[in-house]
Structure 1
Amino acid sequence: MASVDNANGTPNPQTNRPAPSIIRLQATIAAARFHGLELDMRDFAGEPGESSPSPATLVRWLTDQGAVAKGMNIKWRYLVKMSNSPPIVLMFRDGSAALMVNADAARGIVWLRDPMAGEGVAPVPVDEMRLNQVWTGDILLIKRRKDQSEADAPINAAWLAKMVLREKKSLRDIAIASMTLSILQIFPPLIVMQVIDRVVNNRSMATLVSITAIVLVLSFYEVLLSYGRRELTLVLTTRIDTRISLHLFNRLLALPLEFFEREQAGNVIGRVMAIYKVRDFMTGRLMSTFLDMFTLVVILPFLFYLSSTLAWMTIAASGLIGLLVVVFMGPVGRQIGKLIKAEMKRAGVMYETVAGIRTIKTLALETSRKEEWDECTAGVVQAKLDVGRMSNWPTSLSMPLEMFINRGVILVGAYLVLTDAASVGAGALVAFMMLGGRVASPLTNLAKLLDDLNEVTASLGEAGTVLNQPTETKALTTGMRPRIKGALSFIDVNFVYPGSTAKALNDVSFEIPAGTMLGLVGRSGSGKSTITRLLQGVSRTYTGYLKLDGVDLREINLTHLRRSFGVVLQDNFLFRGTIRDNITAGRPGLTIDDVVRAARLAGAEEFIERMPAGYDTWIEEGSTNISGGQRQRLAIARAVICDPKLMILDEATSALDPESEALVNANLERIGKGRTMVIVSHRLSSLVNCDMILVMDRGRVVDIAPHEILLERCTIYRTLWMQQNRHTEGRSGPSAPADAPLIAEGE
């Protein structure tokens, strides 16, 4: 890559250096470290087709990691004035980067530091001519986010308004276009007034020709401006929609696993999707009413100019419509709330039916599911009827007022003309009629807008019940990132699940060095899986100390922690895609050699190679085209491909047939070489080769020792072992005493 030579500051090709993309990432990490942000290069996921991360890609990554970043292209004359500023990342043409640590405008030089060199290495002075040989003109500015981030701010009306107001430039252009259109809308009624008062009455052909020419010019500009405003509005609503969608999905991903375990998936999806009703309101009715208000501001004074009496009548009628809407807001809002809850319930039934369709078909549960769906649909229909009937009252009561605005005002105006009660001519009356409708429409829409607020408020509240839950954002973006070796230490750890009074873990204490293969055994509910949950950072509300390599687990960056672990569960989820994509999930840069190596370790290579497309075999949704044992081995391959220093296998072999289980168990020693392994299994035969086996009972540690020692001194372990091995030890081996209690795994 081309970089700055430490001797004379000239760009010079370097050898034996990392790839340019690595150097650019390292420069970004170094600049973030200056602000106290510790980033991990493994957390970065580049855009497809990018040989080196662009400033925009780096900005997205930094934003996700809790920083404030901005990429921009500037000239040398502005760069050289950035003296005494935090480190700035300068992008080079070869895909690498350097850190600018200072500048001197008087001397015309900047000081650059090689991101791959130590901080003790002196920066190099570079002038404009030399820098321009390698610099693209792009820079990356980084700072730490000190206030509450937008990603963690409560989802409410203020948050959505802030999202809209961020588009200040588009809003300004739309406002200018709307104001201009409003002004242009005054001219047609004025022209009609002139046609009636001068052309028709005076039979003036010349005036008619002149007015026609003016009408054509104004019409052209009105069409042009209307097209431009619609285009600007479309761009604005699309940008807002994109930003809201990205934020909502990021917020959903940041919610802790415990929340999803407590809530029904269908209800979660239904509540989150309710935010799009708010989006439609803000970019639809609210936007159109906002634009119409410009018409009101411009035309209303002109109406008073034509006839103050008729203008006040129009405003009074519109005000009464607004009063009706306000009166009915409460009752209609309560009915809308019931409707939303009914729709959520029905959506939950739909999701549950689709997710559990295999069980429904297998057990012939179609009839019962239809009955439940019919009941939910009846609830939704009834709620819709109630909302419609309640909304029908203000609509019906406001219709006479709307008719008065559109028809009655002109009749009153005609009466005033006939009785000479007001100085209004025939042309002015027609012009008022044309403009009055344009004024009445925004006023009535503004009043009806309050009615829509009921549904919007209810939808926003439903979305907030999910999206305003405490997130893991801080834990995912802050904390230490130590090098993981795998030494574990539990010291007086206690944990209680939310809503429970009994301790899931009660003063649990044990310690294992790095590289240990630890088995966890015990009856159901003894706390085995709870230990693995705490290790994964799923729950952090425990008391006591849980240390990884001497560092408290709560002090470690959660993303770094989970990326350093390999986890295989009893029921693993495979994504819809190829086998290769599933094994490399989260690690798209790994090669096919890495995939084959991981599949071989997991014992999956032999069945993958028998498939017609091999590693490109497509896995259907729900993994319906592969067996449970095959799915489990692919999950193990996915866990070992990133070479984690600590692996957790929670009943990972329970779904395997004896042959597959024997194959995986035979590879466990190879898989566990050089790494710590925590294996939860109710099949004790798969744990006999573990260095240590931890026996749990009712949340407490009963014993920890190798298999042979536990058989001698631990009653619970010996009883479990003898229950599972009666067929081999019933004749010649030791047997349980006649009065020994049977301790079943499922108790």
Structure 2
Amino acid sequence: MVFKALGKYKFWVAAALFTMLLQVGAALWQPSFMKDILNVMSNMTLSTSGKVDKISGYGVSLIGIAVIGLIGSILNTITAAKVSQSVSADIRERTFRRIQSFSYADIEKFKAENLVVRMTNDINQIQILLMMIFQVLIRVPILFLGAFVLSIITMPKLWWIIIIMVALIVLVTGIAMKLMGPNFVAFQTLVDKINGIAKDNLRGARVVKSFVQEANQEQKFDAASDELLGRNLATGYIFSTIIPLFTIISQLAIFVAILFVSTYITDSQSLAQSQLGGIMSFIQYMMLIMFSIIMGGMMSMFASRGFISMGRIKEILDTKPSMKFADVPAETLTGSIEFDDVSFKYPGDDELTLKDISFKAAAGEMIGVVGATGSGKSTLAQLIPRFYDPTSGVVKVGGQDLRQVSEKTLKNTISIVLQKAILFYGTIASNLKQGKPTATSAELDRAAEIAQASEFINQLPEKYDAKVEERGSNFSGGQKQRLSIARGIVKQPNVLILDDSTSALDARSEKLVQQALDQDLDKTTTVIIAQKISSIIRADKILVLDEGRLVGQGTHQELLQTSDIYRKIYETQKGKED
């Protein structure tokens, strides 16, 4: 996933690696000059002026190396930022496109709040990881190997001190990472949980306040937040012991190195001059080794979160949409609908929601679907635009099995208006044009008239350019439903599904909508899911569902004679109206 994205930015990757090598080279080069400077200072054969000249030359070289390292550091930061920002942006776009291709079942599997966290927090973690890779994680092993080799070349007799120091630091780092690893895994899960609690609380703010559940919501949020705090503190406590331990190990190593070199000098005064410069370079290389291990350890701990996030994003990108559309040319389908022995159950459920449903509807008919709550009405409606595929049986539109037509054909043929009206931030026009991006003003007017939305749109100063707040919060429930109906109509589909989408309308508005649908959409097959029989009483065919089974179909008058369930529903509702 990441390597594929990096291939697009080969120049910037190469630049980041080159500038990183400049930093490493400068860091490894400096200790050798310190050795030369100390050797000059301890050389008894050189005059004072000769020493000054040589030391000045070495000083200028050291300044030059430092400038090279500084330039490399600045350019490395710029190029690494370019790579990390660009790659994370590409991954974010790929992830969003993949989510857009998911079916309802796929989205329900991941959960909406989880997908939001993955697209924001997890991709930010990947961005941080890439920055660390090109600034630290690649530099650290090169710096370590270079310092390790040069330290042994400088003081061959003290190689074992380096080995012991490295082994101790690696051991401490390994133990710390093992202890902190589970906390990093739990961190992302807890972020998902907190995000879900916050989202539910904000979306259901009216319910929370009306039932005085603020304290309960605070308790739930605090519990998850405290658990996250505990994980972070546990990580912090472990991390707080690492640097002191590293410091103790490195200082002990330096002490042992100086102790052994002092014995060499004591035993053989002739070695003093060569050993004095060497021990200073050796100590500097030891510090570079310690620094590289410390940085590698710390960055690896933080990078582990990035690798976890990378796995979570990879899970999305590797998920193949559970629903595939046929790769065939687009065509025009008529509005006929047929269910042939259709059964369906939701992913993860054991029981069938729909059982052996069979019926036919001719193009241009109005089909009503009625039944008790939980009888499967909305599920039946969602199979027609192929939000889900049936578990068994065949759903046909225009005589074609929906699994054999292209996505474009299906979307151009069918519109669905859901019970929960969802509007997007923008304008009324931008929301209506989601049904048909090329819709003209006349088409918008026609759709608004049929949906009885023009009566409040025309009262707005900006009319169709009126602003729609997030989730349509500046419109009433009835207004949002009418705008949703207009959005479904503006496409002029051959099949229009209204899933209890007039539930928030008053009786007068609902009646006007039904009359307009009869008169202006007489060639469109209309499927109306309703709780109230009055909403579908004039339908050409009414389907009666009970516990997922089709227990009756026919006109209103026919069902009064043949269906006990329909008759009971009608009499109950008629009694309430009376």
- Structure 2 residue 154 is matched with structure 1 residue 306: yes
Give the residue type in structure 1 aligned to 2:432: I
Which of 336, 355, 360 pairs up with 2:203?
355
- Structure 2 residue 370 is matched with structure 1 residue 521: yes
- Structure 2 residue 567 is matched with structure 1 residue 718: yes
d(CA) in 2 for partners of 1:209, 1:464: 56
Query: Partner residue of 2:380?
Result: 531
d(CA) in 1 for partners of 2:496, 2:249: 72
Give deviations 1:298-319, integer Å, cap 9, x for gaps.
4443322211234542343123
Query: Partner residue of 2:81?
Result: 234
Query: Cα distance 1:667–1:406, how it changes in 2: closer, same or farther (>3 A)?
Result: farther
Give the residue type in structure 1 aligned to 2:30: P
Query: Partner residue of 2:516?
Result: 667
d(CA) in 1 for partners of 2:11, 2:511: 65
**1:655 Cα deviation (Å)?**
0.9
Query: Partner residue of 1:191?
Result: 33
d(CA) in 2 for partners of 1:577, 1:332: 45
Instruction: Map residues 470-549 of structure 1 onto 2, 5 A cutoff.
Output: 470-472=320-322, 475=324, 478=327, 481-549=330-398
**1:179 Cα deviation (Å)?**
2.7
Instruction: Map residues 56-75 of structure 1 onto 2, 5 A cutoff.
Output: none
Query: Partner residue of 1:403?
Result: 251
Which of 284, 287, 295 pairs up with 1:434?
284
Give the residue type in structure 1 aligned to 2:405: I
Answer yes or no: is the 8 Å Cα contact 1:568–1:650 preserved in 2: yes
Query: Partner residue of 2:400?
Result: 551
Query: Partner residue of 1:367?
Result: 215
Answer yes or no: is the 8 Å Cα contact 2:20–2:76 preserved in 1: yes
d(CA) in 1 for partners of 2:115, 2:65: 52
Instruction: Map residues 545-584 of structure 1 onto 2, 5 A cutoff.
Output: 545-558=394-407, 560-584=409-433
Query: Partner residue of 1:245?
Result: 92
Instruction: Map residues 176-215 of structure 1 onto 2, 5 A cutoff.
Output: 176-198=18-40, 201=43, 202=46, 203=48, 204=50, 205-215=52-62
**1:630 Cα deviation (Å)?**
0.5
**1:163 Cα deviation (Å)?**
3.7
Give the residue type in structure 1 aligned to 2:275: G
Give the residue type in structure 1 aligned to 2:100: L
Answer yes or no: is the 8 Å Cα contact 1:494–1:543 preserved in 2: yes
SS of residue matched to 1:590 = coil
Give deviations 1:192-211, integer Å, cap 9, x for gaps.
33333236743224334544
Query: Partner residue of 1:709?
Result: 558
Query: Cα distance 1:428–1:262, how it changes in 2: closer, same or farther (>3 A)?
Result: closer
**1:442 Cα deviation (Å)?**
1.9
Give the residue type in structure 2 aligned to 1:693: I
d(CA) in 1 for partners of 2:179, 2:16: 36
Gaps (5+ residues) in structure 2?
A: none
**1:242 Cα deviation (Å)?**
0.9
d(CA) in 2 for partners of 1:584, 1:351: 28
Which of 295, 310, 318 pairs up with 1:445?
295
Query: Cα distance 1:317–1:695, how it changes in 2: closer, same or farther (>3 A)?
Result: same
Give the residue type in structure 2 aligned to 1:171: V
Which of 2, 11, 14 pairs up with 1:169?
11
d(CA) in 2 for partners of 1:251, 1:211: 58
d(CA) in 1 for partners of 2:4, 2:262: 48
Query: Partner residue of 1:6?
Result: none
Query: Cα distance 1:477–1:292, how it changes in 2: closer, same or farther (>3 A)?
Result: farther
**1:653 Cα deviation (Å)?**
0.7
Question: Aligned pair count?
Answer: 570
Answer yes or no: is the 8 Å Cα contact 1:314–1:409 preserved in 2: no
SS of residue matched to 1:425 = helix
Give deviations 1:331-372, integer Å, cap 9, x for gaps.
432344444444433332222111211222233222222222
- Structure 2 residue 275 is matched with structure 1 residue 425: yes
**1:563 Cα deviation (Å)?**
4.5
Query: Cα distance 1:498–1:219, how it changes in 2: closer, same or farther (>3 A)?
Result: closer
Query: Cα distance 1:277–1:508, how it changes in 2: closer, same or farther (>3 A)?
Result: same
Answer yes or no: is the 8 Å Cα contact 1:317–1:402 preserved in 2: yes
Query: Partner residue of 1:649?
Result: 498
Larger mean CA deviation between 284-293 and 536-545 belongs to 284-293
TM-score of the pair, normalised by structure 2: 0.88
Give 4+ residue runs of structure 1 displaced > 6 Å after superposition.
Answer: 464-467
d(CA) in 1 for partners of 2:14, 2:317: 31
**1:276 Cα deviation (Å)?**
3.3
**1:461 Cα deviation (Å)?**
5.8
Larger mean CA deviation between 311-320 and 631-640 belongs to 311-320
d(CA) in 2 for partners of 1:251, 1:179: 37
SS of residue matched to 2:458 = helix
Give the residue type in structure 2 aligned to 1:651: D
Query: Cα distance 1:570–1:526, how it changes in 2: closer, same or farther (>3 A)?
Result: same
Larger mean CA deviation between 203-212 and 301-310 belongs to 203-212
d(CA) in 2 for partners of 1:228, 1:586: 49
Gaps (5+ residues) in structure 1?
A: 1-158, 731-747
Query: Cα distance 1:539–1:590, how it changes in 2: closer, same or farther (>3 A)?
Result: same
Answer yes or no: is the 8 Å Cα contact 2:140–2:296 preserved in 1: no
Query: Partner residue of 1:346?
Result: 194
Larger mean CA deviation between 163-172 and 490-499 belongs to 163-172
Answer yes or no: is the 8 Å Cα contact 1:310–1:409 preserved in 2: yes
Answer yes or no: is the 8 Å Cα contact 2:180–2:235 preserved in 1: yes
Instruction: Map residues 232-311 of structure 1 onto 2, 5 A cutoff.
Output: 232-261=79-108, 265-270=112-117, 273=120, 275-276=122-123, 278-280=125-127, 282-287=129-134, 288-311=136-159
d(CA) in 2 for partners of 1:466, 1:212: 55
Give the residue type in structure 2 aligned to 1:665: Q
**1:634 Cα deviation (Å)?**
0.5
**1:532 Cα deviation (Å)?**
0.9
Larger mean CA deviation between 405-414 and 544-553 belongs to 405-414
Answer yes or no: is the 8 Å Cα contact 2:250–2:287 preserved in 1: no
d(CA) in 2 for partners of 1:195, 1:498: 74
CA RMSD of aligned residues (A): 3.1
Report 1 or 2 for greater relative contact order, CA contacts < 8 Å, sequence distance ≥ 6: 2
Answer yes or no: is the 8 Å Cα contact 2:366–2:527 preserved in 1: yes
Answer yes or no: is the 8 Å Cα contact 2:451–2:482 preserved in 1: yes
Give the residue type in structure 1 aligned to 2:153: Y
Query: Partner residue of 1:596?
Result: 445
d(CA) in 2 for partners of 1:294, 1:560: 57
SS of residue matched to 1:489 = strand
SS of residue matched to 1:384 = helix
Give the residue type in structure 2 aligned to 1:442: S
**1:605 Cα deviation (Å)?**
0.9
TM-score of the pair, normalised by structure 1: 0.69
Instruction: Map residues 117-132 of structure 1 onto 2, 5 A cutoff.
Output: none
Answer yes or no: is the 8 Å Cα contact 1:179–1:295 preserved in 2: no
**1:465 Cα deviation (Å)?**
6.8
d(CA) in 1 for partners of 2:268, 2:297: 34
d(CA) in 1 for partners of 2:487, 2:268: 89
Instruction: Map residues 315-394 of structure 1 onto 2, 5 A cutoff.
Output: 315-392=163-240
Query: Cα distance 1:265–1:356, how it changes in 2: closer, same or farther (>3 A)?
Result: farther
SS of residue matched to 1:575 = coil
